[in-house]
Structure 1
């Protein structure tokens, strides 16, 4: 295994917060010849981001929900394999929103990169991007220096562990069955649909909902789902 990748995986495994993960990723990105990294998990219109992009750009990206028009995100979902990209490949014409996204990306020093996508659970897509202010990125160097699937999954796994262990006390963690019911509820499934998907009865699904509501002090199922998502439990 490449020493830089090995060091990154070790750092991720030892991390207890996102700050440590970011520090490890920054070192790895620079060893690959890039300036920025962005870990992105998309699910529908929602996006979870951990990146070293300029803070102003991160706020603009999330506020405007640019993951909807970002051609890197679109290509990642379509190809599901590592690929390089450059802003010169993006059409200069298009909707006003897309043109604004393109112009603002250039303004914040993002012109090319390499993206590694992985299919996540429940229809989500996980992607790790290495970006540069240069006009072209050398994908051959990246191919030699990393095993992309390992890096992405290691980071994704550790983020899940951190979210589950630091945001709520252990006594308030959801059981696997409760978390599964809430995950399907977050997808818009009704109790009877969840029962069919999980091979249990609607009454049992309701039991899991009631148990989870007590743990998270939620009055309704929509509130329960919202709290669970905010705390990274589903």
Structure 2
């Protein structure tokens, strides 16, 4: 294990907030000459992200809904593994939206990078990208650490979920089945739909949701979902 990956693991293990994690990701990328990073957690239409891309580029990206045509996002969803990319390979002719996207990426110092994509829980998808404005960057050493980094993302994702549950008062702790049914409820699934997805009887699914509502003093499933989101459980 190289020093950059070791420092990243140590820092994330000790992190108490996103600021520390952002610093760890920036330092890890800088060790390989990659000055930009972006973490994305997507679930349906909900997207959570933090990155150090230029603010103007972030605003442009969101305003133009570039996630729908971004070749990196498309490839990450398709491959769900680590891969190297370069914007020089994107279409360079005509006046298509993709050409405009490519040119604006260049203007904001995003030219080449490496992305790790993987499945999260309950249908979500995670991506971690390190990028640079340099046209030529050697990714050989970085690629050797990517499998370990990918595993780290999964572990950290699960640890954060566990930590969120542990912040609850004892009487509000949910059972694994209650958590599972709650998670599908946050995705808009009804009890019968959750039953199909989990193999649990629909009446039993409703029972778990009712038990979870009691623990949070929620009058309805939508209120339960709102409380769970507000407390960072989902």
Question: When the two structures are superposed, what TM-score results if normalisation uses the length of structure 2?
Answer: 0.82
Kept in 2, the 8 Å contact 1:11–1:24? The answer is yes
Tell me what 2:69 maps to.
Answer: 69
Q: How does 1:63-142 map to 2 (within 5 A)?
A: 64-92=64-92, 97-142=97-142
Query: Relative contact order, CA 8 A, sep 6+: which one is greater?
Result: 1
Report the Cα distance in structure 1 between the residues aligned to 2:201 and 2:95, rounded to whole angstroms: 48
Cα 1:60/1:166, change in 2 over 3 Å? farther
Report the Cα distance in structure 2 between the residues aligned to 1:45 and 1:91, rounded to whole angstroms: 27
1:157 is the counterpart of 2:159: no
Tell me what 2:194 maps to.
Answer: 194
Tell me what 2:12 maps to.
Answer: 12
Tell me what 2:208 maps to.
Answer: 208
Offset, 1:233? 2.1
Runs of 4+ displaced beyond 6 Å: none
Cα 1:85/1:91, change in 2 over 3 Å? same
Report the Cα distance in structure 2 between the residues aligned to 1:217 and 1:93, rounded to whole angstroms: 59
Q: How does 1:2-81 map to 2 (within 5 A)?
A: 2-62=2-62, 64-81=64-81
Kept in 2, the 8 Å contact 1:85–1:137? The answer is no
SS in 2 for 1:207: helix
SS in 2 for 1:127: strand
Q: How many residues get paired?
A: 232
Offset, 1:34? 0.8
Offset, 1:161? 3.5
SS in 2 for 1:123: coil
- The farther-off stretch of 64-73 and 11-20 is 64-73
Gaps of 5+ in 1: none
Cα 1:207/1:75, change in 2 over 3 Å? same
Report the Cα distance in structure 1 between the residues aligned to 2:209 and 2:100, rounded to whole angstroms: 43
Offset, 1:87? 1.2
Backbone CA RMSD of aligned residues: 2.9
Tell me what 1:233 maps to.
Answer: 233
Cα 1:183/1:95, change in 2 over 3 Å? farther
Report the Cα distance in structure 1 between the residues aligned to 2:97 and 2:218, rounded to whole angstroms: 38
Give deviations 1:20-60, integer Å, cap 9, x for gaps. 11111111111111111112222333322122222343344
Gaps of 5+ in 2: none
